[in-house]
């Protein structure tokens, strides 16, 4: 587990520059064959630190779910947003991810002074941004955003499992697992699938 003191280095640095409201931003679901891409924006309370924050992928589902509750309870502001499968197909996954991030930031009830964004790409933001490669394991704010985005998307895909029970979304959450691909080959795609992601799996006539 990452030392909590290290996880606040970027936030402390930004405060030394005069930035009060520091927003962490991350996404979940760029790689799946189905479902929206999610993004979250979080402004943590510097006087009420949340223990255990880390890259959501490094945490157990139980730990993520507990932190999901804590973040929503103690953050100064947060917003979770998404871009749909249709938007992903129309504008590509990178642009759809940027769209979801914009929606998450715009949905905050506090305007951030700066956004710390996981990765190396940030396009068209109206506030100052700082990209941090591997930021979900380096910044508490980005880690919190990664947890909100991941848990929110997983919950959505579990709901989709009841609508489309033939695909076992509750197990693989839309990612290209062996079982998911087997079910795609058997059943063809459903409305939740990203058509642009299926070109190497299914013949064109089956993608629709």
Residue 6: per-residue pLDDT: 83
Residue-level pLDDT at 60: 93
Is residue 20 within 8 Å of 128, Cβ to Cβ? no
Using the structure block, give the residue that is written with the tokens 């064109």: 204
Residue 193 CB neighbours (<10 A): 25
Environment class of 116 (CB within 10 Å of its CB; exposed 0-12, middle 13-18, buried 19+): buried
CB count within 10 Å of CB 120 equals 10
CA dihedral 65, 67, 72, 75 (to 10 degrees): -170
Q: In the predicted model, what is the mean pLDDT of the chain?
A: 94
Q: Please state the pTM of the whole predicted model.
A: 0.94
- pLDDT tens column, 57-110: 899 999 999 999 999 999 999 999 999 999 999 999 999 999 999 999 999 999
**pLDDT (mean) for 31-59:** 94
Looking at residue 122, its pLDDT comes to: 93
Cα angle at 34 between 170 and 134, to 5 degrees? Answer: 90
Do the Cβ atoms of 82 and 162 come closer than 8 Å? no
Domain range annotation of the chain: 4-163
If DSSP states are collapsed to H, E and C, what string results for 98-149?
Answer: HHHHHHHHHCCCCCCCEEEEECCCCCCCCCCEEEECCHHHCCHHHHHHHHHH
pLDDT band at 1; cut points 50, 70, 90: very low
- List of residues 6+ apart from 106 with CB closer than 8 A: 79, 81
Residue 110 confidence (pLDDT): 97
CATH number of 4-163: 3.30.420.10
Q: Out of 5-14, 58-67, 194-203, pick the least confident.
A: 5-14
**In this structure, what are the phi and psi dihedrals at residue 198, rounded to the nearest 5 degrees?**
-105, 5
Is the pLDDT at 149 greater than 60, yes or no?
Answer: yes
Residue 101 · residue 27 · CB < 8 Å: yes
Can you give the pLDDT at residue 4?
A: 46
DSSP assignment, residue 43?
E
Token code pair at residue 41: 């924006």
Q: Is the pLDDT of residue 184 over 70?
A: yes
Q: How confident is the model at residue 116 (pLDDT cuts 50, 70, 90)?
A: very high
């Amino acid at each position: 587990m990452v030392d909590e003191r290290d996880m606040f280095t970027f936030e402390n640095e930004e405060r030394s520059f005069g930035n009060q409201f520091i927003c962490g931003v991350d996404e979940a679901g760029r790689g799946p064959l189905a479902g929206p891409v999610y993004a979250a924006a979080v402004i943590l309370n510097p006087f009420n630190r949340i223990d255990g924050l880390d890259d959501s992928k490094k945490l157990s589902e139980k730990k993520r779910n507990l932190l999901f509750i804590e973040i929503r309870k103690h953050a100064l502001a947060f917003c979770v947003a998404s871009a749909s499968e249709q938007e992903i197909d129309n504008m590509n996954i990178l642009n759809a991810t940027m769209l979801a991030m914009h929606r998450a930031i715009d949905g905050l009830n506090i305007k951030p002074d700066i956004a710390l964004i996981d990765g190396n790409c940030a396009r068209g933001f109206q506030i100052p941004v700082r990209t941090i490669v591997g930021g979900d394991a380096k910044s508490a704010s980005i880690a919190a955003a990664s947890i909100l985005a991941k848990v929110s998307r997983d919950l959505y895909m579990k709901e989709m499992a009841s609508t489309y029970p033939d695909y076992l979304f509750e197990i693989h959450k839309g990612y290209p697992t062996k079982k998911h691909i087997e079910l795609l080959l058997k059943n063809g795609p459903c409305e939740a699938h990203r058509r642009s992601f299926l070109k190497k799996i299914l013949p064109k006539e089956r993608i629709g």
